[in-house]
Amino acid sequence: MAEKVLMKGNEAIAEAAIKAGCLHYFGYPITPQTEIAAYMAKRMPKIGGVFLQAESEIAAINMVYGVASTGHRVMTSSSSPGVSLKGEGLSYLAGSDLPALIVNVQRGGPGLGGIQPSQSDYFQATRGGGHGDYHMIVLAPASVQEMADLTVKGFELADQYRMTSMILADGTMGQMMEPVSLEFDIKPQPAKPWATTGTNMEREHNIINSLSLVPEELEQLNFARYDRYKVIEENETMYEEYKMEDAEICIAAFGIAARVSKNAINEARKKGIKVGLIRPITLWPFPKAPFEKAAKTVKQFISVELSMGQMIEDVKLATACQAPVTLCNRVGGMIPSPDMVLAAIEEAAKNGGAN
């Protein structure tokens, strides 16, 4: 039998997490990410791991905090309304500099919204999600293979920088089935001398805490954290460029929107329109460099999103508004069709974007 297997995006995340050495999963079911919990429920008991269905999302994220404090790889997953509930915990994880992996398989909102795919938690993910000055590393997969690969990457980055990584997927990515390879090059986990593993009476106590009694010290902690963020921005930005070599129109899209856009770009290219794609893979840190570079030659940017226009703000900031940035979007669980994106490209071309 071939080395590839056929998996749902949600299952790929779960299996990749296990392969990355995550033996602790805490969650609460919600469509469209429930397969992650279901998969963990089946697999964890067989490999000596822990699957625990918590009484709520808030309980689950605090269990994540507990395990993360001991230095073990740990994760939770949910979908939009559930991630909002985890918001307080995300902030506490950041305030305590704890590594963990959070998965958000987004659905339409706000509120209870619907169960169809969405990308409208972009602001929440890239601006923190909870209170206070902090960031999470936000990874946006566009295939089942990337759901798996970025899960491994997410754990590694979280450990390396002592912070939370978030997989920001959408309902389509969670539910779609694709062939996937589960062969990973897993690096050894770094030492965690800060973890609460017991002193053996040989060292000082390690204390995991997000409360600072002295304002000056709290300020220094924030400064140090943002120095670290700067290193991440310089070293960990990931993106894909597609047919950008001669592009006069540039689409910005991630996840399912990028896949749809590629189809539209191929159709537009057949009509002689010079259009390409920049697909951010890290949404935070946002890949500013390729946009800055493109802004020198591109005549129009189109942000294709399953939201009312959230990433478009980062595109405008990165391009310093040197060219117009327009929005092509569907919301409420709907996905822009290739024809809709093609029409937006043709409209841009008509306005002098290309030819």
Partner 1 sequence: MEKRITLICGHYGSGKTNVAINLAFAAKKQYDKVVIADLDIVNPYFRTKDSMEDLKQAGIALICSEYAGTNVDIPAMPQQMYAVTDDRSWHAILDVGGDDRGALALGRLAPAILEENNFEMLMVINGYRPLTKDAESTIEVMREIEYAGGIPFTGLINNSNLGTETTAEVVLDSLVYAEEVSRLSGLPIYLTTAEETVYNALRGKIDHLFPLKLQSKIN
Query: What residues line the site for partner 1 (CB under 8 A)?
Result: 1-2, 4-8, 11, 15, 31-32, 35, 39, 42-43, 108, 113-116, 175, 177-179, 182, 333-335, 337
Report how far residue 326's alpha carbon sits from residue 135's, in angstroms, rounded to the nearest whole number.
27
Nearest distance in Å: CB 49, partner 1: 15
> What is the Cβ-side half-sphere exposure of residue 324, based on CA atoms within 13 angstroms?
9
Q: Is 214 exposed, middle or buried (0-12, 13-18, 19+ CB in 10 A)?
A: exposed
Nearest distance in Å: CB 337, partner 1: 8
* In 22-93, beta strands by DSSP E: 24-27, 50-53, 74-78
Q: Which is nearer to partner 1, 128 or 333 (CB)?
A: 333
Nearest distance in Å: CB 121, partner 1: 17
Q: Tokens in use for 277? A: 């794609």
Q: Which is nearer to partner 1, 108 or 290 (CB)?
A: 108
Q: Which is nearer to partner 1, 132 or 179 (CB)?
A: 179
* Residue 187 DSSP label: P
Q: Which is nearer to partner 1, 38 or 238 (CB)?
A: 38
Q: Which is nearer to partner 1, 111 or 272 (CB)?
A: 111
8 Å CB contact between 101 and 93:
no
Q: Which is nearer to partner 1, 8 or 86 (CB)?
A: 8
Residues in the chain, how many? 355
Q: Cis check for the bond before 32: say yes or no (omega within 30 of 0).
A: yes
β pairing state of 24-27 and 177-180: unpaired
CA-CA distances (angstroms) from residue 74 to 85, 121, 212, 311? Answer: 18, 22, 25, 28
Q: Which is nearer to partner 1, 172 or 282 (CB)?
A: 172
8 Å CB contact between 158 and 165:
yes
Nearest distance in Å: CB 76, partner 1: 20
Nearest distance in Å: CB 116, partner 1: 7
Amino acid at residue number 227: D
Nearest distance in Å: CB 179, partner 1: 4
Nearest distance in Å: CB 107, partner 1: 9
